[in-house]
Structure 1
Amino acid sequence: MTRFRPCIDLHAGSVKQIVGGTLTTDNTGLKTNFTSEHPAAYFAELYKKHDLYGGHVIMLGPGNDAAAREALAAWPAGLQVGGGIKDANARQWIDAGAERVIITSFLFPSGTFSLQRLESVLQILDEDRSKLVIDLSCRRVGDGWRVAMDKWQTITDFEINRENISMLEPYCSEFLIHAADSEGLQAGIDEKLVSHLGGICTIPVTYAGGGRNIGDLELVERLSKGKVDLTIGSALDIFGGKGVTFEACCEWNRRKAETAQ
């Protein structure tokens, strides 16, 4: 059953929707689709009101800790948090109210995956894999995809394939995968990637990137056989978009929940 998953993307302390491929360290050429007048806690409270579990708060660079903590305080144990998470601070974010922590760049020192680093994070979390989400946000390379880190600008040597997914699954409860080449463009999802994820993943997966309307929820459900959830950001009316309303996405989840009963 494919569900709509909400998000709160934070940049420089504000809730924003950014074209993923333009995000850099110095923000030269940054393209922003939307900057909210509301604080992060406003969206956390909105998601709580509508029982939208499994949403992710992503800190895109420095200056976002306070906003992230406000969101977590608004809905304790209702949101996941990612962006700069590592073994040194993972427990702090759980203690601050995160349901799960999302980890990515820390696992890829110099662009190469480190199992030792993954194990160090899990140890800090008392070996509780239910508290950990691995972010495998990626960019297309040739006929496949490789994990992209450091604001999606550094492409690692880690391929999104069955072997690597099977290796990681015992260490986490979910995967979060942004298609960085599609993120923020509202030009449609990466259909091949969604199908690929549905075929190789056996734990929950959330895909983000290019979602533009309610039809994309139907498409993701069909392509993944209901194994992949979808985040819609820039196209959503609460983020200034015109592709789909927040209420329509909530209604999708309500109908799916009723069907599953």
Structure 2
Amino acid sequence: MRGSEMMKFRPCIDIHNGKVKQIVGSSLRDQNDWAAENYVAEQDAFFFAKLYKELGLTGGHIIMLNPASSPYYEETKRQAVKALNTYPGGMQIGGGINAENAEEFLQAGASHVIVTSYVFKDGKISYENLEKLRKAVGAERLVLDLSCKKRGDLYYIVTDRWQKFT
């Protein structure tokens, strides 16, 4: 590190099937809500949000890894909202965010909402959906996630839990 620069740790809480876990990158599959797992925590999302708050860790995020169509979605969402309530303003949230539900997560305590799939449709930016989000929560509360995967020699933005290339 140069001079007085310090590395900043950004905490993360990934929730899948109602459990906090670390999954193997790009292994998520909507079919049967499957993902390869590196680690599944015994503690819930509340525990980690409380810990991050006590340690003064900021700029982190919570990601809900189940689609709204999943039978696990409500438990995953419940875990996320409980964590946001525990650390108001301390965490961003992503996973299934759209213009209709973004404000709900901000009211629960999210500092920002993270979006990808709602804004990228059929491989292109949906400026209409981006504008709906801007009107719903304000540009200053939006984080546009540009997660990428390599296909051939090129990198592409991926959506829908890293399953679809743009």
Whole-angstrom distance in 2 between the partners of 1:96 and 1:29: 28
Whole-angstrom distance in 1 between the partners of 2:80 and 2:34: 25
Secondary structure of the residue aligned to 2:143 is strand
Whole-angstrom distance in 2 between the partners of 1:143 and 1:115: 28
1:89 matched to 2:101? The reply is yes
Q: CA deviation at 1:143?
A: 3.5
**Structure 2 residue corresponding to 1:12, chosen from 13, 17, 22:** 17
Which residue number corresponds to residue 144 of structure 2?
134
Q: CA deviation at 1:29?
A: 6.3
Which residue number corresponds to residue 154 of structure 2?
144
Secondary structure of the residue aligned to 2:118 is helix
Change in Cα spacing, 1:144 to 1:73, as seen in structure 2 (3 Å) is same
Alpha-carbon deviations, 1:85-133, whole Å to 9, x = none?
00011111111111111111001122321112111101001xx322111
1:78 matched to 2:83? The reply is no
Aligned AA (1:52): L
Change in Cα spacing, 1:143 to 1:93, as seen in structure 2 (3 Å) is same
Secondary structure of the residue aligned to 1:106 is coil
- Structure 1: segments with no counterpart, 5+ residues: 157-261
Which residue number corresponds to residue 114 of structure 1?
126
Which residue number corresponds to residue 219 of structure 1?
none
Which residue number corresponds to residue 57 of structure 1?
62
Whole-angstrom distance in 1 between the partners of 2:102 and 2:119: 13
TM-score (norm 1): 0.56
Change in Cα spacing, 1:56 to 1:140, as seen in structure 2 (3 Å) is same
Alpha-carbon deviations, 1:127-183, whole Å to 9, x = none?
x32211111111013443211111101001xxxxxxxxxxxxxxxxxxxxxxxxxxx
Aligned AA (1:115): Y
Aligned Cα RMSD in Å? 1.5
TM-score (norm 2): 0.87
1:39 matched to 2:44? The reply is yes
Which residue number corresponds to residue 99 of structure 1?
111
Aligned AA (2:149): R
**Structure 2 residue corresponding to 1:25, chosen from 8, 26, 30:** 30
Whole-angstrom distance in 1 between the partners of 2:54 and 2:155: 36
Q: CA deviation at 1:35?
A: 0.7
* Bigger helix fraction: 1
Q: CA deviation at 1:27?
A: 4.4
Change in Cα spacing, 1:59 to 1:28, as seen in structure 2 (3 Å) is closer
Secondary structure of the residue aligned to 2:161 is coil
Change in Cα spacing, 1:113 to 1:73, as seen in structure 2 (3 Å) is same
